[in-house]
Structure 1
Amino acid sequence: MLSAQVKPISYLKSHAASIANEIAESGEPLLITQNGEARLVVMDVHAYERQQETLALLKLLSLGQRDIEAGRMRDAHEVLADLEKDDAA
């Protein structure tokens, strides 16, 4: 994945516009190195937004799992019955 898209920072400096076009077209991130070490990841803004949404969903799932493990949950039938009571009131 990233290992196929590795460029030095000097390449980024001199080819920024073409890199932006390539990344937007391919959707693949580009790993930028500085002094031979991985330094930055450049990616399309839409791919970044999708990644952030995925991370947010994973966080919600993790929090839900913790609630289940701690016993902080209610049966769905109880919740629905409470909602019906609230609607009737």
Structure 2
Amino acid sequence: MKYSAQIKPISYLKSHTAEIVTQLTETREPLLITQNGEAKLVVMDVQSFEEQEQTLALLKMLALGNREIEQSQYRGAADVFAELDKEE
């Protein structure tokens, strides 16, 4: 697993929680938590999480759009604009 975040054991999370919150909020870099030497979870600030969720939503929309194009399930721009003009 390639990961550029800081890596800390779960004991560090337990004993430095307030410090971690401050650090993550300031740096916006995620923290990888390990347990028994294995990666178990990622801790990140809320703003980074929300941005990541928005990015994933956009990527899903792009993938759906590409699939529809591949399956010829689309209308030309001229048709769409003509329909919009009729609705006015």
TM-score, normalised to structure 2, is 0.94
Provide the C-alpha distance between the structure 2 equivalents of 1:80 and 1:4, rounded to a whole number of angstroms.
47
User: Quick check: 1:2–1:30 contact (8 Å CA) kept in 2?
Assistant: no
Aligned length: 87
Amino acid at match of 2:19: S
1:16 aligned residue: 17
Map 1:53-64 to 2 at 5 A.
53-64=54-65
Give, as a single letter, the amino acid of the residue that structure 2 aligns with 1:17. A
Deviating beyond 4 angstroms after TM superposition, the runs of 4 or more aligned structure 1 residues are: none
For structure 2, the 5+ residue unaligned runs are none
Identical columns (%): 60
Please list every run of 5 or more consecutive structure 1 residues that lacks an aligned counterpart in the other structure: none
Displacement of 1:85 in angstroms is 1.2
Aligned residue number for residue 75 of structure 2: 74
> SS in structure 2 opposite 1:28?
coil
